[in-house]
């Protein structure tokens, strides 16, 4: 019983300074509010959306914003507010899974390259240089051109483009952490390489990976919306924000709401995620005082 109380007190001592740093970081607070709103919209989309996002009602086409249709309707009479709300689910799925794919491959290769060094490090580093030599958008377009436009293929394309950034970040952190006394001690007592990497080195690179992931989440939203806008991402009639904007470009003079409202959501979501990344960089920086 006493040990449990002491452990709880130790956890509170670690958490309290972190919470103070969060409160002292307005960008992080604002970013968490915006990102939290996006997550809530995605989680409760069936309850928030008043209509079927892909139901066609030709008699209601190109209706301006009103009490019946908060964001108006598109060229097929679909309720734009419902489409934007349901599109948040696609946005969260795209950002989360593409970042997960990139982080999984990048962290694994970065750990291996930084820990073993030598020819292993050289081989992985040359592979990184080859991938980074291609412009990111063109790399994603090439993959989608081969696999075909869909949400899953878009996730794969963005994930394959994103892993070199994680690998370079983790490799540098591992090279630094590998010189610490506790890592040398673990090696000296005969700990396996996998245990040293996962138990002693990986926890020290979690913070920079989280910060990078927040930034990459916003980048994935922008890239995914851009590719969907040109027809290489999520296909119509799926309610993806970039695809919705693409349907309204021919009516931007007479039905501006088809482009404006999804664009505002994209900008707000990306702003929120970027603010979270900037705030986390300040909060998780060990050089900052309590």
What is the average pLDDT across 253-273? Answer: 91
What does the alpha-carbon distance between residue 59 and residue 50 come to, in Å, rounded to a whole number? 18
Residue 13 predicted with pLDDT over 60: no
Query: pLDDT tens digits, residue range 191-247?
Result: 676 666 777 677 778 888 888 888 889 888 988 888 888 888 888 788 899 989 998
Between 277 and 8, whose confidence is greater? 277
Query: What is the assigned CATH class of domain 34-283?
Result: mainly alpha
What is the average pLDDT across 10-36? Answer: 70
Residue 145 predicted with pLDDT over 60: yes
pLDDT for residue 249: 86
Dihedral class, residue 240 (left if φ above 0, else alpha if ψ from -120 to 50, else beta): beta
Residue 15 predicted with pLDDT over 60: no
User: In 3D, which of 85, 234, 52, 238 has the Cα closest to residue 60?
Assistant: 52
Residue 8 predicted with pLDDT over 60: no
What residues does each domain of the chain span?
34-283
Query: pLDDT tens digits, residue range 70-121?
Result: 999 988 889 999 999 999 999 999 999 999 999 998 888 888 888 787 888 8
Dig out the tokens for 248 from the structure: 């309204």
Q: Say what angle helices 257-283 and 26-43 make with each other, to 10 degrees.
A: 130
Between 185 and 73, whose confidence is greater? 73
Q: Which contacts of 83-86 are long-range, i.e. CB under 8 A and separated by 24 or more positions? A: 83/53, 83/54, 83/239, 83/244, 84/239, 84/241, 84/244, 84/261, 84/262, 84/265, 85/41, 85/45, 85/48, 85/49, 85/53, 86/45, 86/49, 86/53, 86/239
| pTM, to two decimals | 0.82
pLDDT band at 188 (very low <50, low <70, confident <90, very high): low
Between 14 and 130, whose confidence is greater? 130
Which residues pair with residue 79 across a beta bridge? 73
pLDDT for residue 141: 84
What is the average pLDDT across 161-171? Answer: 86
What is the average pLDDT across 234-262? Answer: 88
The Cα angle at residue 214 between residues 92 and 222, in degrees rounded to 5: 55
**Tokens 């993959």 label which residue?**
143
Query: pLDDT tens digits, residue range 146-165?
Result: 888 888 888 888 888 888 88
């Amino acid at each position: 019983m006493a040990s449990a109380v002491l452990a709880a007190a130790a956890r509170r001592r670690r958490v309290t300074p972190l919470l103070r740093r969060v409160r002292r970081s307005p960008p992080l607070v604002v970013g968490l509010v915006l990102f939290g709103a996006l997550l809530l919209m995605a989680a409760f989309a069936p309850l928030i959306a008043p209509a079927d996002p892909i139901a066609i009602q030709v008699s209601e086409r190109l209706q301006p914003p009103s009490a019946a249709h908060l964001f108006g309707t598109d060229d097929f009479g679909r309720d734009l507010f419902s489409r934007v709300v349901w599109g948040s689910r696609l946005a969260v799925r795209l950002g989360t899974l593409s970042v997960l794919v990139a982080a999984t491959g990048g962290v694994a290769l970065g750990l291996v390259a930084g820990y073993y060094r030598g020819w292993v490090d050289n081989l992985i580093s040359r592979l990184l240089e080859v991938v980074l030599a291609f412009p990111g958008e063109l790399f994603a377009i090439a993959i989608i051109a081969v696999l075909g436009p869909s949400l899953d293929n878009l996730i794969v394309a963005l994930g394959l483009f994103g892993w070199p950034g994680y690998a370079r970040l983790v490799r540098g952190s591992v090279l630094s952490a590998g010189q610490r006394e506790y890592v040398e001690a673990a090696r000296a007592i005969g700990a396996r390489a996998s245990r040293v990497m996962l138990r002693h080195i990986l926890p020290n690179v979690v913070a920079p990976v989280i910060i990078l992931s927040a930034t990459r989440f916003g980048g994935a939203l922008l890239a995914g919306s851009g590719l969907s806008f040109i027809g290489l991402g999520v296909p119509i009639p799926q309610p993806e924000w970039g695809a919705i904007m693409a349907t309204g470009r021919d009516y931007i003079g007479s039905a501006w709401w088809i482009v404006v409202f999804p664009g505002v959501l994209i900008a707000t979501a990306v702003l929120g995620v970027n603010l979270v990344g900037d705030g986390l960089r300040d909060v998780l920086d060990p050089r900052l005082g309590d």
